[in-house]
Amino acid sequence: MTRVKTNIGRRAFIKNTGLASGGLIIGFSWLNSCKPKAIPEEDMALEMPKEWSEFNSYIKIGENGVVTLMAPNPEFGSNVKTSLPMILAEELDIDWKMVIVEQANFHPEKFDRQFTGGSQGVRRGWPGLRVAGATARQMLLLAAAQKWNVPLSELTTDMGTVFHEASGQQVSYGDLAALAQNITLPEDEEVPLKKVSDFKIVGSSKKNVDTKDIITGKPLFTMDLQEEGMLTAMVAIPPFGMKIKSVNASVAKSMPGIKDVFTIKTLQEDYERNFFDTASHTELAVVVGNSTWEVLQAKKALKTEWEEITDSEFVMAGFRGGKTTVKVPAGLESTETHNLRMEEMSQKKADVLRRDGNPEKAFKNADKILERTYTAPYLAHNCMEPVNCFAHVTETEAVLYAPIQAPEMISGTLASRLELPEENVHINLTRMGGGFGQRAYGHHLVEAAVISQKIKAPVKLMYTREDDMTCGIYRPTYTATYRAALDKDNNLIGFHVRGGGIPEHPVAANRFPAGTVDNYLAEGWALESNITIGAFRAPRSNFIAGAEQSFLDELAELMGKDPIDFRLELLERAIENPVGENNDYEAERYAGVLKLVREKSGWDTGEKPGIHRGVSAYFCHNSYVAQVLELSMDGQTPKMEKVTAAIDCGIVINPDFAINMAEGGIVDGIGNALFGEMSFTNGVPDHKNFDTYRMIRYSEAPKTIDVHFVQNEIDPTGLGEPPFPPIFGALANALFKATGRRHYRQPFTVDKPPLVG
């Protein structure tokens, strides 16, 4: 059995222990305090404790053994609100029915990394929650040993009960809670953690703790919120590359239900932004009124005049420290000019990101060279819930309810802009109707707060679908050129990837196939833009994975090798004799998912008549995913028959939800690969709603998705994002098998030649 100390790192999880109203209280630095909601008796195995006591951040055990865990991470469908308490309940060794989960609100003094994103929620919560549950269990065991005057080593626990087999005695956790007040564990006390083989809850499927609220329509989202005296606000935002010149609001102000029309500045000129203060426009026109419909009609009646911006720049703090100067160029940008600029850049010098051996010499001496260029457009996030936020700002405090992935990244911005102490800015976390990276950016919180402060009333800010799609934070547009050098014996002797984009490049220089080729070169370049970009599900990987895996398939074909065999050969080199020391993947685990998907998909049995297969594998967010996609053709239309996925994400907490996330990522990826595209004309997005921005339909999703997890005892890693990137390559490779054509530009329904190569 593993033993760990209760004192973890710089900020110990365990703050204090004590007794209140017969209940054991255990405090942790990232678990917030909050009174639990009333829970219907039919939902509980036992009645609720008669009284709860609160600590700053804690786990609570009631006198009847009921446990409450505050879920610190915002929930938008990744299931952290269910998975995190499963970890606690496992180590506590309690019946899952005895656990109550409450969504904590944002409180930086009580929580560590209150951020859902980067597929890090479970990974970051895993060690602390295990210690939390194990420490509570240890204190209860010590209390029982004292009560019965028996050695601790003779006691066991199961389902919230302590047993002494020798005497036949047993006692529930609730009955021990009062006695546990006298138990003190030193901060460096070692507590035993369960063996993975002994897990009962982790690794079993549990229902979403919000299931009943969701299916019964209980208010869970910010848009459900109603408060007395609340007004509705909407904003008018200029096209990219433009700003407000004038606003004629005479007609709008006279319309029914309208309270005011004005302009606001969301960020001051000298404000130093943090990484998530992403917004192209900091000056907006605002309409405030009684109802959504009335405000929407008045917004349409606004007569706004825009003018072009001039070149500007601002200082931004980096995500992992440091500062950078962001340049915002003038001009009205269009997709046509973007493509021309990227084509020009592909011929110019780029930044060297990694160099192994002598790639120039390898290409000079090559017998064959394969070169291909891949491109992808901007993508809109298109969460089902458009941007919205409730704010009530007074002279002394600000109270907000918002769908936000990273509240800690916007709290300081709000305090600065509102000129309030940061501790007086209260962000309440509501369930999100999708996130995909867009909700990491909190400009909508600042907008709502500034409007409320100016109007001196509670305000709900609402974006229309058109606002959400055209004023958005987009996945960048990318391009990547791959080159491979073969000698006369068809051996791979050189590999070169050169990637660029607007306004960032997509190259992860130390990922596969880095470390597998003696002569390797990775380069990157970027062009400035005034179009706002940001994190999009599996940032950068969502493009580069498809490009890389498509190229590897074409390279395997040129070399006369099976595509899975070829990848495994490269990985074998990385296992036995890797090139370089900075490879950021584990070759054995990478090879493991390829071998598993080969087995589960029946790859070696060959294609069935009318079925065409493509394979892809990728590593990102600490996890490994391999996929085989099978499709058929109905005339010129591909029909997705089946996707087999093999995933190594360490220990799987909740299998059903893990499968759901993999399925969602696969369907989302296929839809974006086939149809996703946001284009621009003179700073204006060409697609404003789902009538022209094509989304995948139910009938276009795979008929079957078969998900398999590598069974191991590695700590959990990411899962929300890793299944998304590789499906682009698997689809492209299957389409080649079906049609004989390679796809070099996304979306694949657009039949265009590559720009270069």
- What's the CATH code of the domain at 137? 3.30.365.10
Which among 298, 183, 187 is positioned nearest to 236, based on CA atoms?
A: 298
pLDDT at 4: 53
pLDDT tens column, 478-508: 999 999 999 999 999 999 999 999 999 999 9
Q: Is the pLDDT of residue 706 over 50?
A: yes
Total count of domains within the chain: 3
Q: Is the pLDDT of residue 752 over 60?
A: no
Q: How do strand 303-308 and strand 242-248 relate by DSSP bridges?
A: antiparallel
756 part of a folded domain: no
Task: Name the residue range of residue 226's domain.
Answer: 222-312+387-462
Name the residue with tokens 């564990």.
Answer: 185
- DSSP one-letter code for 198: G
pLDDT tens column, 442-485: 899 999 999 999 999 999 999 999 999 998 899 999 999 999 99
In a shared domain, residues 122 and 191: yes
In a shared domain, residues 661 and 688: yes
Taking the C-alpha atoms of residue 161 and residue 65, their distance in angstroms, rounded to an integer, is 9
In a shared domain, residues 354 and 494: yes
In a shared domain, residues 351 and 238: no
Taking the C-alpha atoms of residue 430 and residue 105, their distance in angstroms, rounded to an integer, is 9
pTM assigned to the model: 0.90
Which among 610, 614, 608, 615 is positioned nearest to 634, based on CA atoms?
A: 610
Within 8 A by CB and 6+ apart from 337, the residues are none
Taking the C-alpha atoms of residue 523 and residue 352, their distance in angstroms, rounded to an integer, is 5
- DSSP one-letter code for 290: S
176 part of a folded domain: yes
324 part of a folded domain: no
573 part of a folded domain: yes
Long-range contacts of 456-459 (CB under 8 A, 24+ apart): 457/229, 457/230, 457/231, 457/392, 458/227, 458/229, 458/230, 458/231, 458/390, 458/391, 458/392, 459/230, 459/231, 459/232, 459/233, 459/288, 459/390, 459/391, 459/392
333 part of a folded domain: no
Q: Is the pLDDT of residue 57 over 70?
A: no
Higher pLDDT, 187 or 245: 245
In a shared domain, residues 504 and 373: yes
Among 438, 462, 486, residue at a domain's last position: 462
Within 8 A by CB and 6+ apart from 204, the residues are 654, 655
Decide: 513 and 495 in contact? Cβ < 8 Å. Answer: yes
Decide: 447 and 314 in contact? Cβ < 8 Å. Answer: no
Among 395, 428, 462, residue at a domain's last position: 462
201 part of a folded domain: yes
In a shared domain, residues 161 and 86: yes
113 part of a folded domain: yes
pLDDT tens column, 574-600: 999 999 989 999 999 999 999 999 999
Q: How confident is the model at residue 245 (pLDDT cuts 50, 70, 90)?
A: very high
Taking the C-alpha atoms of residue 103 and residue 616, their distance in angstroms, rounded to an integer, is 38
Quickly list DSSP for 163-191. EETTTTEEEEHHHHTTGGGG----TT-EE
pLDDT at 355: 97
In a shared domain, residues 362 and 303: no
Decide: 49 and 63 in contact? Cβ < 8 Å. Answer: yes
What rounded mean pLDDT belongs to the chain? 88
In a shared domain, residues 630 and 699: yes
Q: How confident is the model at residue 119 (pLDDT cuts 50, 70, 90)?
A: low
In a shared domain, residues 662 and 576: yes
- DSSP one-letter code for 38: P
In a shared domain, residues 92 and 16: yes
In a shared domain, residues 304 and 395: yes
The DSSP H or E segment spanning 157 is: strand 155-158
Among 206, 236, 254, residue at a domain's last position: 206
Within 8 A by CB and 6+ apart from 491, the residues are none
Taking the C-alpha atoms of residue 397 and residue 391, their distance in angstroms, rounded to an integer, is 11
In a shared domain, residues 166 and 259: no
The DSSP H or E segment spanning 39 is: none
Taking the C-alpha atoms of residue 116 and residue 125, their distance in angstroms, rounded to an integer, is 11
- 359 upstream amide cis, omega within 30 of 0: no
